[in-house]
Structure 1
Amino acid sequence: MEHVLRQCLIALRLAERVGVEEDGRVAVYYTALLTNVGCHSDAHEQAKWFGDDILLKADKYTHAHHKLQGAVATLRQFGSGGGMAHRFRLGLEFAVSGHRDLSTMIEHHARMARRLGEDLGLAPDTLAALDASYEQWDGRGYPGELGGDDVPLAARLALIGEFVEVAHRVGGIEGARALLRNGKGKEFDPYLADALVGEADLLLAELDTVDAWDAVIGSEPALAIVLTEDEVDAALLAVADFVDLKSPYSLGHARAVAELAAEAGRALGLPEGDVRLLRRAGLVHCFGKLGVSNAILDKRTPLTRGERERLHLVPYLTHRMLRQSPALRPVGDLAAQYAERLDGSGHPAGLAGPAVSLPARVLAAAHAFQALREPRADREPHPPREAATRLRADVRAGRLDGAAVEAVLSAAGQPGSRRVAGPAGLTAREVDVLSLVARGLTTKEIADRLVISRKTVANHVEHIYAKIGASTRTAAALFATQHGLLVTPTASPPGSARALR
């Protein structure tokens, strides 16, 4: 928790110490905050190959200076959570195609961070630093195209801030100094490393006790970016689409819930200010899933009790993310109630009856309907009529609010017509293929679903990637989400279905 905030503080303090001007510190500020923001975007693949995508990331810091040791530690986690037969099957699949998922994974994270920076309207020097955020001083970073002074200064400062934050938290000031001495001239710019070693007592002071959020907000150079209300909405939408990349089963979820909830709230006569708040809560309500492993989110078999409890942390984590901002605290307060139920059976607070506000009741209904309409690892999406039946059953059982449910169903009953051709010149068939690629289906699964040959699927994917300028599933998924191309698959559902999540 708060690793990135402290990383930003370290990078800013060091930047000021070495004389970086205020304009340059703006790039340091946003680069340090966004460097690792793309690390969740291929969590589905990470969990598929290594079991727990969150645990996998710990080795990044454990083996900071030893790529070979880090690679060996990563391989030890291959197929984690499965038996020998599972590991053998996974090994064959990895040998055929999976190695491509990993070969460009880290530079893909940098590209995705830059993509979010573009969506947020950040300056060109910040975007350039994000592009190079995994490069190293010795030229042996990722993708390994830059080294030395060619690596943007903001990227060099952010890299030191990231690793020093972990070393300081684990080993104190001496642990940070040891990391810098070992990495000097390798990962780290030697001048910056020496500067931080020499003044570590001052530059790392009070990191354990300072209020990181307030300190980072107070340290923003020149108050460079101030958003209007409409720009806040656009920023939240950009981040929501990005967070939904966490799992192929949640692509476009926040965007859809926000629109359903806002339209239903307006139909119920909520004031426009409450409708805007409701829409924002819909965009952010599942931010907390970033704290849940894809080994749980994408699991194809029933969840254990402990795994269900982990899922129940999502609204709590969402609230924790947002509560520190005075501007976003009301949004987080509402968003945290999406899983509450009128009979007190929900979570995280077990609110009941009048304690669940009308906007929260609308948000709960919108989330429940949209979740039913989406595929999950162990089931196909429910048809609209079946989803409506399930929601009305929850109304009769006293869990959901009847007026809120009917307003959401009315909003969901007005879909736009299916476009014949998509953006970037995509054909209707290419839109079908893209939506399934985005959901993480294999070439064989797409071929079976659309009753076409695997070769035809491969040709479609090649043409799609060329048209939309993508090279990975997650980039294609983000394009599909932002352009409303996540059409509903048509295969028959399997016999079992998981509880809503």
Structure 2
Amino acid sequence: MRDRLPDGPDSPAPARAELLAALSLAIDLGLGLPVEHVLRASLVSKALAEQFGGDEADQATAFYTTMFMWVGCVADSHEYSRWFGDDIAVRSASYEVDWTGIPYAVFLLRSLGYGRPLPQRTKMAGKLLSNPRGNLTAMITSHCSSAALFASRLGFGDDVCGALPFGFERWDGKGLPAGASGEQLPLAMRITQVADIAEVLHHRHGLDACVATVRERRGGWFDPEVAEAFAVNAEALLDLPDDVWQLAVAEAPGAQEPVTEAQLDDLVMALGDFVDLKSPYTLGHSRAVAGLVGAAARHAGLTPDDQATLRRAGHLHDIGRIGVSNLVWDKPGPLTATERERMQLHPFLSGRILARVPALAAETRLVLHHHERLDGSGYPNRLSGADLSLSDQLLAAADRFQGLVEPRPHRAALSPPDATALLRQDARAGRLHSGAVDAVLAAAGRTSARGAWPVGLTDREVDVLRLVAAATPTREIATRLGITEKTVRNHIDHVFAKTGASNRVGLSLFALTNGLAAATPTPA
């Protein structure tokens, strides 16, 4: 096993546009769509905004509204999967349906519990039909609010963040969550809706069918003027190169300047936090792994540059999880062989996404290897000792330890001593490097005193916050904390009031940014 990462040519600092474009590739995976769909749709939106006489600011708003519209598909994947089973397959199929009326109702009923047994699907249908608008509104609100929160965290203003909550509204007022209509929908979102749907339909069915569908939805889903402007110029608007990455990076408004190291650290942390929202079982996982592997790298005597690289890899290592359905991630029982194969693809998908950013070459190698093992028993490439560096094994050990002390759908969280015993066992069996395991366990064993909880939260309110953020039902919270459901609801009201969050996703983000996520307990 090598001592450290192989040396290579210095890469320039990444541009902000490259990092946002990498995020868009992850979103493509979460939608079950061909790579670069989001980039292509964003360019179509920018051109449409220009066609409407928009200045550079208007074009930028349309471009980034399209880029961030589907970021929320990560945050609502758990809820989406509860209703529809395979969240990715159903999202992909939904592009074929106008989201209103009987055809949409039929689509929803057919999609409920996708991939699950018939009795379970029937039960799901009963739950949805008991309050269809309310159930769908709750899910859509989480999606839209998380997209706006993420865009805000990356420094975008009210022009983009204010448009994102309208992603599922319609021109005719039959959308969700608020039933906004007409010009109540910001122009950037009206453009985005057409560009997003049209790009998918063009890829699947060709130009004529794409234009026909856009025109068919005029005055219903789509702004008639935007739809017709697209239809008249569709061929030119959709005439984009096969590999659109370079064009999108070059044309991303105001994002070509290289980021500083501090800005890069902030961006990768934000990406990791949002990836972890895909499942309540992984809330805070990437941030915790990043902190743990950074401390382990110091303990192992790695250089400051290698420590920084490992921290960034810790934040990014699971970005490929977006491309695997929550039907797999949230399954309470054993995975089938097919499901296990899909799960084991996620390091490959992470590497595929990050490989587009040359400045992250070292982080990409680490991310790709974080489930490999010295004895060749890991995945996705079954690498073994000579192929793996100490840095690879530090990230592997940190990810392994942190995953063990977090709950998973099929088991409760392990205690730190139990997790320590399993890591030692991995080292003795030759799966993990003993020095890497020693460094990770030394880092995990350090404790630190905390100050007061943020925004005046009490100890009990923090307990409740963590459980709500992890999508724990009220009844289960009451049982676990030994209090009544009424008391739980009172605590939840206080937590929402103090944090300013409006839903579970907002609460999850508050927990992440304030170090309160259930996945990041004070180490033992």
TM-score, normalised to structure 2, is 0.87
SS at match of 1:79: coil
For 2:259 and 2:325, locate their aligned partners in 1 and report how far apart those are by CA, in whole Å: 32
For 2:93 and 2:102, locate their aligned partners in 1 and report how far apart those are by CA, in whole Å: 12
The residue type equivalent to 1:483 in the other structure is: N
For 1:51 and 1:59, locate their aligned partners in 2 and report how far apart those are by CA, in whole Å: 13
Cα–Cα, structure 1 residues 133 and 451, in superposed 2: closer, same or farther, change >3 Å? same
CA offset at residue 93 of structure 1?
6.2
For 1:188 and 1:168, locate their aligned partners in 2 and report how far apart those are by CA, in whole Å: 17
| One of 56, 66, 69 as aligned partner of 1:22 | 56
CA deviation profile, 1:220-239 (whole Å, cap 9, x unmatched): 12447753210111111112
For 1:251 and 1:244, locate their aligned partners in 2 and report how far apart those are by CA, in whole Å: 5
Instruction: Indicate the larger mover: 17-26 or 30-39.
Output: 17-26
CA deviation profile, 1:412-445 (whole Å, cap 9, x unmatched): 10133355x5222211001111111222221121
5 Å-filtered alignment, 1:272-311, equals 272-311=304-343
For 2:271 and 2:90, locate their aligned partners in 1 and report how far apart those are by CA, in whole Å: 24
**Does the alignment pair 1:334 with 2:366?**
yes
For 1:145 and 1:488, locate their aligned partners in 2 and report how far apart those are by CA, in whole Å: 37
Instruction: Indicate the larger mover: 107-116 or 131-140.
Output: 131-140
Q: Is the 8 A contact 1:49 1:90 kept in 2?
A: yes
5 Å-filtered alignment, 1:312-331, equals 312-331=344-363
The residue type equivalent to 2:293 in the other structure is: A
**Does the alignment pair 1:428 with 2:459?**
yes
Partner of 2:194: 160
Aligned-residue Cα RMSD (Å) equals 2.3
Q: Is the 8 A contact 1:264 1:411 kept in 2?
A: yes
The residue type equivalent to 2:445 in the other structure is: G
**Does the alignment pair 1:110 with 2:144?**
yes
Partner of 1:409: 441
CA deviation profile, 1:289-325 (whole Å, cap 9, x unmatched): 1111111101111111111111101101111111112
Cα–Cα, structure 1 residues 43 and 416, in superposed 2: closer, same or farther, change >3 Å? same
Q: Is the 8 A contact 1:13 1:203 kept in 2?
A: yes
The residue type equivalent to 1:316 in the other structure is: F
Q: Is the 8 A contact 1:343 1:398 kept in 2?
A: yes
**Does the alignment pair 1:479 with 2:513?**
no
Instruction: Indicate the larger mover: 275-284 or 123-132.
Output: 123-132
Identical counterparts, % of pairs: 43
CA offset at residue 84 of structure 1?
5.0
For 2:237 and 2:125, locate their aligned partners in 1 and report how far apart those are by CA, in whole Å: 46
Partner of 2:25: none
Partner of 2:413: 381
SS at match of 1:327: helix
CA offset at residue 189 of structure 1?
2.5
Cα–Cα, structure 1 residues 130 and 225, in superposed 2: closer, same or farther, change >3 Å? farther
| One of 369, 380, 386 as aligned partner of 2:401 | 369
Q: Is the 8 A contact 1:374 1:488 kept in 2?
A: yes
**Does the alignment pair 1:69 with 2:100?**
no
CA offset at residue 247 of structure 1?
0.4
Give the unaligned 5+ runs of structure 1: 491-501
CA deviation profile, 1:434-480 (whole Å, cap 9, x unmatched): 11122222112111111111221122112212222223222222221
Q: Is the 8 A contact 2:344 2:379 kept in 1?
A: yes
Partner of 2:281: 249
Partner of 2:36: 2
Cα–Cα, structure 1 residues 182 and 108, in superposed 2: closer, same or farther, change >3 Å? same
Cα–Cα, structure 1 residues 32 and 95, in superposed 2: closer, same or farther, change >3 Å? closer
**Does the alignment pair 1:240 with 2:267?**
no
Partner of 1:493: none
Q: Is the 8 A contact 1:135 1:147 kept in 2?
A: yes
Q: Is the 8 A contact 1:381 1:488 kept in 2?
A: no
Q: Is the 8 A contact 1:260 1:411 kept in 2?
A: yes
Instruction: Indicate the larger mover: 111-120 or 14-23.
Output: 14-23
Name the structure, 1 or 2, with higher relative contact order (CA <8 Å, separation 6+). Answer: 2
Q: Is the 8 A contact 2:312 2:363 kept in 1?
A: yes
| One of 227, 245, 264 as aligned partner of 1:213 | 245
TM-score, normalised to structure 1, is 0.91
| One of 383, 386, 389 as aligned partner of 1:354 | 386
Instruction: Indicate the larger mover: 38-47 or 396-405.
Output: 38-47
Q: Is the 8 A contact 1:65 1:182 kept in 2?
A: no
CA deviation profile, 1:237-282 (whole Å, cap 9, x unmatched): 1121111010010000000000011111122121111111111100
Partner of 2:205: 171
Q: Is the 8 A contact 2:496 2:507 kept in 1?
A: yes
Instruction: Indicate the larger mover: 68-77 or 269-278.
Output: 68-77
CA deviation profile, 1:134-191 (whole Å, cap 9, x unmatched): 3333333333454333422221221111000111011111122112211222222222
CA offset at residue 90 of structure 1?
4.9
Give the unaligned 5+ runs of structure 2: 1-34
For 2:99 and 2:81, locate their aligned partners in 1 and report how far apart those are by CA, in whole Å: 24
Cα–Cα, structure 1 residues 94 and 71, in superposed 2: closer, same or farther, change >3 Å? closer
| One of 88, 91, 109 as aligned partner of 1:54 | 88
For 2:121 and 2:91, locate their aligned partners in 1 and report how far apart those are by CA, in whole Å: 20
Cα–Cα, structure 1 residues 224 and 466, in superposed 2: closer, same or farther, change >3 Å? farther
For 1:184 and 1:93, locate their aligned partners in 2 and report how far apart those are by CA, in whole Å: 32
CA offset at residue 91 of structure 1?
6.0
Q: Is the 8 A contact 1:59 1:73 kept in 2?
A: no
Partner of 2:477: 446
SS at match of 2:363: helix
Q: Is the 8 A contact 1:107 1:134 kept in 2?
A: no
For 2:119 and 2:183, locate their aligned partners in 1 and report how far apart those are by CA, in whole Å: 49
For 2:291 and 2:380, locate their aligned partners in 1 and report how far apart those are by CA, in whole Å: 24
